[in-house]
Every structure is written in structure tokens, then in C-alpha cells.
Amino acid sequence: MDLGPHAAFIWASYGAVAFVLVVLLVWLIWDGRRQLRLLHELEQRGVRRRSGR
């Protein structure tokens, strides 16, 4: 694939998009796992909300 004289700029753009989106994705997944873990820890300790939802 020949991207012409400005190939570096094209790759840099796609690289930037990939980087930012991967960071966002990894952060979201990591955060989700962490919240689930905390929730399980609390539930195992027998903590319940009064409303018992």
C-alpha cells in the first residue's frame, strides 16, 4: 500500500486515534472490573442497603 509522500502524517493520525481510543477502552474496562470487585467484597462482608434493592 503506497500512501504517497505524506504517509507519516496518515499513520500518525491513525496511531493517535488508536492510542486514545485504546486508553479510553482499557480505562473503562479496568474501572468496571474494579467497581464489580468492590461490590462483591462489600456483599461478601454482608453489607446490605436498607431498601434491599
Binding of another protein by 13 (CB under 8 A): yes
Q: Are 10 and 3 in contact (CB under 8 A)?
A: yes
Binding of another protein by 26 (CB under 8 A): no
As measured in angstroms, the least distance from the Cβ of 29 to another protein is 8
The Cα–Cα gap between 35 and 42 comes to 11
Question: Which DSSP string do the residues of 9-20 spell out, in sequence order?
Answer: HHHHHHHHHHHH
Residues that bind another protein (CB under 8 A): 1-7, 9-10, 12-14, 16-17, 20-21, 24-25, 28-29, 31-32, 35-36, 38-39, 42-43, 45, 47-51, 53
